Structure 1
Amino acid sequence: MSNSKAIQPPKKLSTHPPPPPSLSSLPDDIVLSCLARVPRSHHLNISWVSRNLRALVRSPQLNLLRSTTLPKNSLHVCLEDLEDDDYSSFQWYTLKETSPKEYGLVTNSTPFPSHPNYDSSIVAVGPKIFCIGGPRGEPSTDLWILDTRSGTIIQGPSMTVPRDEDKAAVGVIDGKIYVIGGLPFFFTTDGIFREEEEILVEVFDPKSETWELGGHENVRKIARCCASVEGKVFIVEDKRTSVYNPREGEGERMVHMVSERLSEGGSKDKLKDRVYDVCVVDDVLFALFHNTGLMWFDTKHSVWKKLVGRDGKELPFILRVEAIAEYEGRLVVFYSDILARTVQCMFVSLDRARGKICGTIDWSGILATPPVSFRFRQCLTVSE
């Protein structure tokens, strides 16, 4: 009798490749390191993938990692002293967490000098604040540069065209400052008062501290709010939204209208509302309108959409809004009470899911009580 085992036929090899490793299969410390670099607005989508990712997104370890690994930003606020006879006294503050879950505007550890050009068009590149042109109704070719680290302000090279804060659209693309717009009118040789038809675009390189010509554009010369998104300068006006794209071919990079609608509804939803301010959070353009409140711009469909809560309801309407800005991945809405002489704000966390953006109010309260009558002048995020 034979003791040999029966020969088994060879097993068939699977023709299907093994599934690729998923994020959930990695160690938690590596997953946290990846999540720390994902904008907060995408956390809601991530939390739906698995229970483990939902726990990591909500963990305090992720917030700690974000605060220690991501670039440091500071939100600076400038108030003007209205009791100063010269109307040139400015005080800068920084938004800080004064205690657990409490916030306030604190005086900068490095004081900034008072300067009249804080009333002009203003933009930040890295740790420096650039004051461009003159205040409303006072066009100027001046450029002043405030270094937030040292608290010093110096005069930079002048522009070619005088500009004021109401006539120039300003944005930052690839670290360079684009200034679109200029002198709103001029006198011809026969003494006739006319508007310019073409406006000079100038580009300032902070590294070389030089201006260069960016071309001529046909733009309307009225008050506007501006912000840079997706390598373009978006210009938000009361009745339309336009865009300037410096990367397009010669003759095609004109400022052109991309939207005059509040939704996909059509002509009945025309944008006919006063815009207060705009800002960018996680590469999304937000605006605050007088009647419609907080909106975000859908670049895919070129329409404005309401920012609502997770329950689909509109966020509370705020009176006397001064500015909106980005702070640690959240939308901050500043408002004031002139009689009580208080500066207040609310923090709105943003969640992006299924083509929508929802907002949740995390905190609201009084940030500061200035000792004198004041006017809210500037608000911008600066990289440290």
Structure 2
Amino acid sequence: MDIGIDKINFFTSNLYVDMTELAIARNEDPDKYLIGIGQSKMAVIPPTQDIVTMGANAAESMLTDEDKEDIDLVIVGTESGIDNSKSAAAYIADLLGLRDDIRTFEIKQACYGATAALQMAKAQVTLNPDSKALIIGADIAKYGLNTPGEVTQGGGAVAMLVSANPKLLSFEGGSTYLSRNIMDFWRPLGHSEALVDGKYSSNVYLDFFNNVYSNYKDKTGFTIDNFEALLFHLPYTKMGLKALREAQKDADAKVSAKLAHRFEDSRLYNRQVGNLYTGSLYLSLLSLLENNDDLKSGDRLGLFSYGSGAQGEFFAMLLRKDYRKYLMNTTNEFLQKRTCISVEEYEKIYLKSLHYENNSELDLDMDDAQFVLTGIKENQRQYKNRI
């Protein structure tokens, strides 16, 4: 029985800041951001959007009534939780109108959370082939204004429906994984902005990739020639390029060129959004599927997931027959319709989103999404479905 991703969709806010304008405002050469980091735009998440609303917005437009009836598991992978006790999945299931006899919970391990959720969904559907699982990777990356990490901020949500006999991709075999207790990136309780040792974190990312990728090849007997594309967690897109270059050391010129071309397809969306932590690997996957025109059914994709602190995993998925017919193909148009705001406007939104006041109402004028956060009442978040 094949199990995998039946549907996938993405959501972010309708606002972004241009990285050239941000570079000029920070007295930096724009090429440092555009080429050195590999980012051209950065999503700006207003106070009216959080992981709940973004997750619900990503899921709603891809789910049918039949899907909603079949879903019996909802997992949200995030490191941007809105409550120390209650899961974002419970809120999302309610906003989507899912039935009550389901499991909902939230999972955390930095940027690895959505992959952990995906693997749990695989196990759930293996045991219950008629069920479907909704997996959401949603985050808002914050490092602070005028900080070295500012250029790698962003946010959004990727929603995936996992089922038997999926239309898009099926899991192939097992995974290889690695876990170590290290301090490359962390966010203590009470901190709205992450703490990171940037150079160390980049080195650990590459070390983890080389470890799990090498172990996967040893375990399966595969070589670089067996993969039609390699996908990476992209905290910024240059990071994935560095990992790809590690893999290309084993490839001949033809294979190396193929992988490089498909990597460019896979980072188109991430370049325009920035870091969405748990969702970034799967936004890259969506970017590849929607922007590449030479992959075919049966092709093997290698996926590297990494979460600081740290956890890494490498696994493979196979493209299903006629998978292109089932893609929504709405992301490019969605990203192009966003509104570019000034650096000054971005800074005001950023500072306002750091603190939510109790018994307050939020201004919805700049947010055109279906699901929005309207305010806080008696310490309870107030959500609205505009449709």
Global fold match (TM > 0.5): no
Larger Rg, first or second structure (1 or 2): 1
| Structure with greater helix percent | 2
Higher relative contact order (CA 8 A, sep 6+): 2
* TM-score (normalizing by structure 2): 0.30
